[in-house]
């Protein structure tokens, strides 16, 4: 029980919570396992060379990819070699990929990613034994393939769910092979080693769950009532999914997750924190309208409704689709809509300003282009004159009243003096 020993050692050394001890112990064990591994030493390993050739990559490109995966996951030194060795030598985990209420955008984004070609990596790293969209077969054949894969890999396969699950009226609004989405999900989840909800729809309900939600669309975790890895996005970045699977393949466990089940390596920072337009935000330079001077110059899109300040995702750092620099919504000039964040994406109006989660721009920051004065019209001049005349008349009346009051006071004082003089004379 090496994990239990590590936890006990940490508890004796520091006053930490059970969760903190477990996380630190897990990292220590991974570090010890990888301490003697070196990525450079694998360059001459024939298994790595064969894997790289199978993927249509050079050996160096394959090793660089493994190093990038390890770095993005925040793993300790030696993890890059462990990742490379796992991909090259370990048995590919069986994957059952279910489709429910969705547009297949998650699968599409995975197949369209390149550098290196992600579908080659995915199909080499995993054994995709059931996927309705990619199967050439149909009907009873694919259902038989699913059941066979589940039986042969009981307790070891990965279940990936794409799309929301309709729960209203017993789930009759989505059926596959004569079974409702609820029935199929629970059947496949029963013996799965890990469950991954890919996309916002399966993570919490996504777009199908907005508004009146006539079908009762829900996320995977709420239906299964058990922890699920969620990789939200519409569609999500395929490398976030790839990194999660590689971590499971390498260590036999899933990466660290936040309270919503999202991998921390991808969803622990606000989009706003790493946005290339952040400097403009801090300086008070905002685009006020699409196509205006600020928009053309790449100023901050906060006032056009960017949800980056309240959305957790790694979009600014990982980009999307490998189509070149700046290939993500904000980089292309459109505000982030918060598709990875429940309660933001598909619920808040696209161009409504975001609720800041860390800092708000100063109200005293001026606009880049302020409107200039154009002089007064005849109407406004007449109004101004009338107001000025009224003010002058009021001032005169006040002065007049003040003068009268002073005179009355002086007469009263003289009268009092006269009375006092008469009283003295009589005495």
Write down the domain spans for the chain: 91-266, 269-370
Residue 361's pLDDT is what? 58
For the stretch 155-184, pLDDT in tens is 999 999 999 999 999 999 999 888 999 999
pLDDT band at residue 421, thresholds of 50, 70 and 90?
A: low
The CATH superfamily assigned to 269-370 is Cytochrome-c3 hydrogenase, C-terminal domain (4.10.480.10)
**Residue-level pLDDT at 247:** 87
Q: What is the pLDDT of residues 140-159, one digit of tens each?
A: 888 898 999 999 999 999 99
Least confident of 60-74, 185-199, 238-252, 280-294: 60-74
Find the radius of gyration of the CA atoms of the chain: 35
The DSSP output letter for 234 is S
Cα–Cα distances (Å) from 67 to 23, 60, 87, 267, 319, in that order, read 22, 11, 12, 20, 18
Higher pLDDT: 1 or 224? It is: 224
Q: Which of 155, 163, 151, 149 is nearest to 95 (CA)?
A: 149
Q: How far apart are CA 71 and CA 83, in angstroms?
A: 11
The mean of the pLDDT values for the chain is 78
pLDDT band per the 50, 70, 90 thresholds, residue 370: low
Compare 251 and 417 and report the one with higher pLDDT. Answer: 251
d(Cα 226, Cα 228) in Å, to the nearest integer? 6
| Percent of the chain topping pLDDT 70 | 70
305, pLDDT greater than 90: yes
Give Dmax over CA atoms of the chain in angstroms.
136
b/e burial code for range 235-259 (CB count within 10 A of at least 16 → b): bbbbbbbbbbbbbbbbbeebbebee
Q: Any idea which of 2-11, 199-208, 392-401, 417-426 has the lowest mean pLDDT?
A: 2-11
- pTM of model > 0.75: no
Does CATH number 3.90.1150.10 belong to domain 91-266?
Answer: no
Q: Please, which residues have CB within 8 angstroms of residue 243's CB and are 6 or more apart in sequence?
A: 69, 72, 73, 255, 263, 265, 266
In this predicted model, which residue has the larger pLDDT, 8 or 130? 130
Is 83's pLDDT higher than 90?
Answer: no
- Residue 71 pLDDT greater than 50, yes or no: yes
Mean pLDDT of 31-48: 59
Region of 356 (left: φ > 0; alpha: ψ -120 to 50; beta: rest) is: beta
CA torsion, points 62, 68, 69, 71, in degrees to nearest 10? Answer: 150
Q: Are 193 and 251 in contact (CB under 8 A)?
A: no
pLDDT at 100: 94
- Segment among 72-86, 251-265, 273-287 with least mean pLDDT: 72-86
pLDDT tens, residue by residue, 190-211: 999 999 999 999 999 999 998 8
Q: Which residue has the higher pLDDT, 419 or 304?
A: 304
CA–CA dist 55, 122 (Å, integer): 10
Q: What is the mean pLDDT of residues 230-251?
A: 88
User: What's the whole-number mean pLDDT along residues 364-369?
Assistant: 58
């Amino acid at each position: 029980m090496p994990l239990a020993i590590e936890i006990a050692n940490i508890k004796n050394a520091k006053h930490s919570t059970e969760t903190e001890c477990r996380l630190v112990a897990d990292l220590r064990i991974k570090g010890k396992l990888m301490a003697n591994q070196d990525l450079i030493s694998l360059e001459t390993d024939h298994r790595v060379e064969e894997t790289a050739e199978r993927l249509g990559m050079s050996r160096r490109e394959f090793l660089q990819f493994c190093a990038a995966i390890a770095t993005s996951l925040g793993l300790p030194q030696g993890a890059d070699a462990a990742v490379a060795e796992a991909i090259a030598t370990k048995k590919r985990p069986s994957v059952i990929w279910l489709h429910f209420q969705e547009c297949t955008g998650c699968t599409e984004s995975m197949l369209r990613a390149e550098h290196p070609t992600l579908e080659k990596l995915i199909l080499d790293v995993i054994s995709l034994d059931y996927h309705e969209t990619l199967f050439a077969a149909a009907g009873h054949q694919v259902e038989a393939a699913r059941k066979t894969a589940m039986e042969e890999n009981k307790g070891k396969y990965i279940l990936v769910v794409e799309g929301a699950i309709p729960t209203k009226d017993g789930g009759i609004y989505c059926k596959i092979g004569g079974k409702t989405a609820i029935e199929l999900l629970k059947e496949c989840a029963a013996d799965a080693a890990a469950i991954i909800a890919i996309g916002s729809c399966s993570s919490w309900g996504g777009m199908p769950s907005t508004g009146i939600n006539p079908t009762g669309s829900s996320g995977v975790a709420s239906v299964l009532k058990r922890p699920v890895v969620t990789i939200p996005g519409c569609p999500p970045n395929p490398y976030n999914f790839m990194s999660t699977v590689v971590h499971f393949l390498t260590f036999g466990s899933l990466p660290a997750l936040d309270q919503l089940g999202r991998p921390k390596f991808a969803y622990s920072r606000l989009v706003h924190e790493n946005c290339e337009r952040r400097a403009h935000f801090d300086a008070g330079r905002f685009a006020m309208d699409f196509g205006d001077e600020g928009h053309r110059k790449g100023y901050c899109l906060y006032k056009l409704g960017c949800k980056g300040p309240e959305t957790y995702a790694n979009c600014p750092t990982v980009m999307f689709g490998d189509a070149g620099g700046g290939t993500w919504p904000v980089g292309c000039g459109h505000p982030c809509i918060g598709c990875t964040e429940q309660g933001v994406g598909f619920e808040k109006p696209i161009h409504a300003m975001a609720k800041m989660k860390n800092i708000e721009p100063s109200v005293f920051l001026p606009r880049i282009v302020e409107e200039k004065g154009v002089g007064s019209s005849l109407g406004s001049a007449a109004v101004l004159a009338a107001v000025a005349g009224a003010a002058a008349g009021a001032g005169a009346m006040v002065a007049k009243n003040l003068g009268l009051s002073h005179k009355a006071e002086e007469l009263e004082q003289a009268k009092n003096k006269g009375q006092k003089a008469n009283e003295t004379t009589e005495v």
